[in-house]
Amino acid sequence: MKIAVIDGQGGRLGCLLVAEVKARLPRAQVYALGTNSAATAAMLKAGADFGATGENPVVRNVADADGVLGPVGIVVADAILGEVTPAMAGAVGRCRAKKFLVPMNSCGVVVAGVESLPLPGYAARAVESLAAELEK
């Protein structure tokens, strides 16, 4: 199964998500899709199987993914400090995979009704939801 993990900035959330996926779903192939090279490198170091940086890798790799994980900003163009392009956001929004998004208030997006957790708690919940969906 193909799991796309998308992140930007320094890749902190992406690292947490990659580590959680590898622990919970060890047979999954994890694709680290960074909006910049620092994020991609960090996710590869965290254990991702493949990595690529930029708009085209995001657009191409979410198309056939079984699950997509990342910050909520990946579906809002320019939400992650201008690193998410409209093409990236559109590709994620249109892909057939379920999207498991982590709320990041630093992106200027507030998800109403979501309890406040530390970032590792959000990552664990996102991956647990992904695993439950894939087991259906």
pLDDT tens digit string along 17-69? 999 999 999 999 999 999 999 999 999 999 999 999 999 999 999 999 999 99
**The CATH number of the domain where 40 resides is what?**
3.40.50.1220
pLDDT tens digit string along 67-113? 999 988 777 655 555 678 888 989 999 999 999 998 876 556 677 78
Tell me the C-alpha distance between 112 and 133, whole Å.
Answer: 23
Please give the structure tokens belonging to residue 69.
């994980």
How many separate domains does the chain show?
1
Per-residue model confidence (pLDDT) at position 115: 85
Instruction: Name residue 36's beta-bridge partners.
Output: none
Range of the domain at 78: 2-134
- The answer to whether the predicted template modeling score (pTM) of the entire model surpasses 0.75 is yes
Is the pLDDT at 123 greater than 90? The verdict is: yes
